[in-house]
Structure 1
Amino acid sequence: MAEFMAILLFISICLALMAGYPVAFTLGGMALLFAGFGVLTGTFDASYLSALPNRLFGIMNNQTMLAVPLFVFMGVMLEKSRVAEDLLESMSRLFGTLRGGLAISVCVVGALLAASTGIVGATVVTMGLLALPTMLKRGYDPAVATGTLAATGTLGQIIPPSIILVLLGDVMSSAYQQAQLKMGIFSPKTVSVGDLFVGALIPGLILVGLYIAYLIGVAVLQPKKLPALPQEALGPIEWGKLFGSLIPPLLLIAAVLGSILTGYATPTEAAAIGALGAMLLALWKRQLNLAQLKSVAYGTTEITSMVFLILIGASLFSLVFRGFGGEVLIEDAFAQMPGGVMGAFFVVMAVIFLLGFILDFIEITFVVVPIVGPVLLAMGLDPVWLGVMIALNLQTSFLTPPFGFSLFYLRGVTPRSIPTATIYKGVLPFIAIQLAMLVIAYIWPQIITWLPHKLYG
């Protein structure tokens, strides 16, 4: 009966979220409702809830999670300081005379924005507003143009510093400790956000390279879809403006990621460097004033409050789910699954991919990963590899029709003359690239694990 209640709890929460109820209150409220019913029917031990105060205190006292508001502040500040606009204009003039040059510029700028902001929605909307009208005006195929924008916008999911990697790093660290206890290992070694940042760096760069290779292929094989533009239409290349728009973001990225890679700063400290650097960059561009600062602070508070409120609701759900024996149920199911650990891994990845249609990455990170993570890690999977694979998987689901979140963001800024089916058609090749990247990382896990092991041992 108790295990049936665990399954029913998970299904009920998914249905409530699909119905549009607020995530944090759905998680916490549904968990309390089931816990109360379980106490009345004798299927739930209320003592499990005694751990809740310590859980909540741990969330508020978590140094790693302090990186979330700092990275969000950095991203929102850069979004409002016209970094993307100046970068796109300069890169378009540099590459626009080549076939597909404008699309390649969008891809490069999207990657730089991903490494600067880490916020998918902001990147997709910003790039859509700035680049799409120009691409359509210059005769670019609408499907390729919208597909490029949607795909490059989701690079913020995998290229560090990514918010999802920060959240996954904290969750995977806890899952790794639980897995070690299950295996009877008492080791001080853990999984840090820095490990995931370093592990995601090479796959992220390979993904950008595959995107650009696809665009070059389209430009060569189907030149009418990605025409070259005359220099007169683009205007002269202003090298001073090009370097002025390119170097400051690169310096900021180098300061944030470089301090992590070299071990001079923790991800939280690097996030503080990034927040300060974003403010200095906005000041240099004369985009920093009191009204702007208030707007950025408000946006940061709104996003951070949402993340932490969801985390609190997810912690309550996790306690109740375990109280009903849900974790034991999953362990037994994985143990009996054909294919052993890899069979269990493929099932989890398929479930996460499907849940990515209806849940945001925050809910999946806080609800699903704490349930399946300890079990998979106890079966012997590398925690850094698993974390980056989950991030790549979620990035793919963000692109997949008909429910991909990136598609919703882009649809909001796309002209009505372009049907939704065109956007869906445009992202299909990029979904194939994403899936190919997952296969590559599965066949050669060293792509993810080599650099973290090289740097941190």
Structure 2
Amino acid sequence: MTDPQIALLMLGLFIFMVFLGFPIAFTLMAMGIGFGYYAYFDASRMWRSYFRLDELASTWDSISLWIEGFFNNRIFDLFINQTYTVMSNEVLTAVPLFLFMGYIVERANIVDRLFSTLNLASKRIPGSMGVAALITCALFATATGIVGAVVTLMGLLALPAMLKARYDPSFASGIICAGGTLGILIPPSIMLIVYAAASGVSIVKLYAGALLPGFTLVGLYLVYIIGRSILQPSVAPRPTEEEVPDVPMGRLLFLVATSFFPLAFLILSVLGSILFGLATPTEAASIGALGGMLLAVGYRAMTWQRLRESVYLTVRTTAMVCWLFVGSYTFSSVFSYLGGEQIIAQFVTGLDLTPFQFLLLAQLIIFLLGWPLEWSEIIIIFVPIFLPLLAIFDIDPLFFGILVALNLQTSFLTPPMAMSAYYLKGIAPPEVRLTQIFTGVMPFLLMVFICMALMYAFPQIVYYLPDRFYGH
């Protein structure tokens, strides 16, 4: 076999091992080191060590020299260097800080106050409880960026209230599942930080480029919720006075000031400091982590147990992301050295695709990868395969990254592997069937595709803010 064929075997074997359920980070490292030993094998370096065995009288010295000869391969140097590269990556430093902010906010009892207040404030709007649930999901998802946490918490909080208010189970489930994934796209998104580290695109420009697409998607979701509530009132009946009582305007303003504005101010402060150049993403994430702790203290929700849980979850998730990067960097370096990227580039260019057709093909592949894989694995492992091809088709990595972030919404919403639906089913009342949840997410999946079509048709949705502020 030629080296490029071995590279393709390496990629195919990795995908096979993932489907068998092996841990992805360690599978990447094992594949990278195993195939890298072959790729970087230098017989002269190894046998120089072996030829010295006859000169040694000590058996222990002979064994030590044999071990030295076995490890005399550049793949081990590469693995150590890639690990150090990940540890010293300044962009990735923001990941644990944003994660810590999210876990602290999640445990600060903010979400129940926020949902209750928005439910009161939107009482006169058709589908008011659905609107309140979506906006709460959007704010909470933006603050945490953790899909499972948002869907689970909102499923425990909002779903029983919506079912009690006679909402259609499919409609209510779809709102929570779709709203819970918005943190992947809307800044300060952890996914965009990981993409920036993998692609070298400015995280500041990525955040600016993702704002309008994120708001567009939220707007499409709201249009669907309100429009369907008007056209089909039975799926979202208007609340009765007992379910959502009228409150004086002064009381309502106080509730908004104490529940909505603190979290919104924290998010806007972090995001604004990044976009206006007042702080680097790492510095802004530090401010966000401190602000999250202050919010928890202000809401009298900060306890030693919650702080310890937040630190533990932050360390665990950060370690997962960093080991994925180490494995991916090692794997991709060996894959490229064997000629894998070159053979893929030759195959794609041989298809004679237009840039638009290439974008559609790439997004279709990412859409399909979203069924068995998490977004972190797709961004760290597979997106770098596409990045060298972008220059061939004259596609901006910034635009491609926002498209990927939008596309990854679908990975949590597309049956049969819609993880958002499974998160919700795990805590939903027994009468809510999984098929009902799948039915509920399908219209929101259509909204994602409409948003992607709008980005294709009007690229200024992505480029307006980067051009306006940074001269993209």
TM range (shorter): over 0.9
Report if aligned partners of 1:337, 1:344 keep a CA contact under 8 Å in 2.
no
Provide Cα deviations, 1:262-298, integer angstroms capped at 9, x if missing partner: 1111111111111011011001001112222111111
Matched, 1:229 2:256: no
Q: How does 1:34-433 map to 2 (within 5 A)?
A: 34-36=35-37, 47=74, 50-173=77-200, 191-237=201-247, 238-239=251-252, 240-433=254-447
Report if aligned partners of 1:74, 1:117 keep a CA contact under 8 Å in 2.
yes
Residue in structure 2 matched with residue 184 of structure 1 by the alignment:
none
Residue in structure 2 matched with residue 187 of structure 1 by the alignment:
none
Residue in structure 2 matched with residue 23 of structure 1 by the alignment:
24
State the one-letter code of the partner of 2:168: D
Report if aligned partners of 1:96, 1:229 keep a CA contact under 8 Å in 2.
yes
Report if aligned partners of 2:39, 2:334 keep a CA contact under 8 Å in 1.
no
| C-alpha distance in structure 2 between counterparts of 1:170 and 1:379, whole Å | 22
State the one-letter code of the partner of 1:235: P
Report if aligned partners of 2:425, 2:432 keep a CA contact under 8 Å in 1.
no
Structure 2, unaligned stretches of length 5 or more?
44-72
Provide Cα deviations, 1:68-100, integer angstroms capped at 9, x if missing partner: 000000000000001111100111122245431
Report if aligned partners of 1:142, 1:418 keep a CA contact under 8 Å in 2.
yes
Residue in structure 1 matched with residue 4 of structure 2 by the alignment:
3
Q: Secondary structure at the match of 1:350?
A: helix
Report if aligned partners of 2:25, 2:323 keep a CA contact under 8 Å in 1.
yes
Q: Secondary structure at the match of 1:107?
A: helix
Q: Secondary structure at the match of 1:400?
A: coil
State the one-letter code of the partner of 1:208: V
- Taking structure 2 as the reference length, the TM-score comes to 0.89
Report if aligned partners of 2:33, 2:76 keep a CA contact under 8 Å in 1.
no
Report if aligned partners of 2:142, 2:189 keep a CA contact under 8 Å in 1.
yes
| C-alpha distance in structure 2 between counterparts of 1:233 and 1:362, whole Å | 41
For residues 5 and 416 of structure 1, do their structure 2 counterparts lie closer, same or farther at Cα, with a shift above 3 Å needed? farther
Q: Secondary structure at the match of 1:24?
A: helix
Provide Cα deviations, 1:208-244, integer angstroms capped at 9, x if missing partner: 1110000111111100001000133223433212321
Q: Once the 2 structures are TM-superposed, how far is the Cα of residue 49 of structure 1 from its aligned partner?
A: 6.0
State the one-letter code of the partner of 1:22: P
Bigger Rg over Cα: 2
Q: Once the 2 structures are TM-superposed, how far is the Cα of residue 50 of structure 1 from its aligned partner?
A: 4.2
| C-alpha distance in structure 1 between counterparts of 2:169 and 2:261, whole Å | 31
Report if aligned partners of 2:29, 2:331 keep a CA contact under 8 Å in 1.
yes
Q: Once the 2 structures are TM-superposed, how far is the Cα of residue 121 of structure 1 from its aligned partner?
A: 1.3
Out of 17-26 and 228-237, give the one that drifted further: 228-237
Q: Once the 2 structures are TM-superposed, how far is the Cα of residue 205 of structure 1 from its aligned partner?
A: 0.4
Provide Cα deviations, 1:235-267, integer angstroms capped at 9, x if missing partner: 343321232101101110111011011111111
Residue in structure 2 matched with residue 177 of structure 1 by the alignment:
none
Report if aligned partners of 1:13, 1:27 keep a CA contact under 8 Å in 2.
yes
Report if aligned partners of 2:37, 2:75 keep a CA contact under 8 Å in 1.
no
Q: Once the 2 structures are TM-superposed, how far is the Cα of residue 334 of structure 1 from its aligned partner?
A: 2.0
For residues 96 and 305 of structure 1, do their structure 2 counterparts lie closer, same or farther at Cα, with a shift above 3 Å needed? same
Q: Once the 2 structures are TM-superposed, how far is the Cα of residue 38 of structure 1 from its aligned partner?
A: 5.3
State the one-letter code of the partner of 1:389: L
Report if aligned partners of 1:344, 1:376 keep a CA contact under 8 Å in 2.
no
Q: Once the 2 structures are TM-superposed, how far is the Cα of residue 325 of structure 1 from its aligned partner?
A: 0.7
Report if aligned partners of 2:104, 2:292 keep a CA contact under 8 Å in 1.
yes
Q: Alignment length, in residue pairs? A: 438
| C-alpha distance in structure 2 between counterparts of 1:398 and 1:338, whole Å | 32
Out of 53-62 and 245-254, give the one that drifted further: 53-62
Report if aligned partners of 2:141, 2:180 keep a CA contact under 8 Å in 1.
yes
Report if aligned partners of 1:97, 1:230 keep a CA contact under 8 Å in 2.
no
| C-alpha distance in structure 2 between counterparts of 1:340 and 1:247, whole Å | 47
Q: Once the 2 structures are TM-superposed, how far is the Cα of residue 411 of structure 1 from its aligned partner?
A: 1.7
| C-alpha distance in structure 1 between counterparts of 2:89 and 2:202, whole Å | 13
| C-alpha distance in structure 2 between counterparts of 1:338 and 1:419, whole Å | 46
State the one-letter code of the partner of 1:198: A
Q: Once the 2 structures are TM-superposed, how far is the Cα of residue 170 of structure 1 from its aligned partner?
A: 1.2
Out of 95-104 and 106-115, give the one that drifted further: 95-104
Identity of aligned residues (%): 39
| C-alpha distance in structure 2 between counterparts of 1:416 and 1:315, whole Å | 44
| C-alpha distance in structure 2 between counterparts of 1:106 and 1:363, whole Å | 29
For residues 168 and 221 of structure 1, do their structure 2 counterparts lie closer, same or farther at Cα, with a shift above 3 Å needed? same
| C-alpha distance in structure 1 between counterparts of 2:111 and 2:392, whole Å | 43
Report if aligned partners of 1:334, 1:340 keep a CA contact under 8 Å in 2.
no
Report if aligned partners of 1:16, 1:26 keep a CA contact under 8 Å in 2.
yes
Structure 1, unaligned stretches of length 5 or more?
174-190
Q: Once the 2 structures are TM-superposed, how far is the Cα of residue 341 of structure 1 from its aligned partner?
A: 2.8
| C-alpha distance in structure 1 between counterparts of 2:246 and 2:407, whole Å | 41
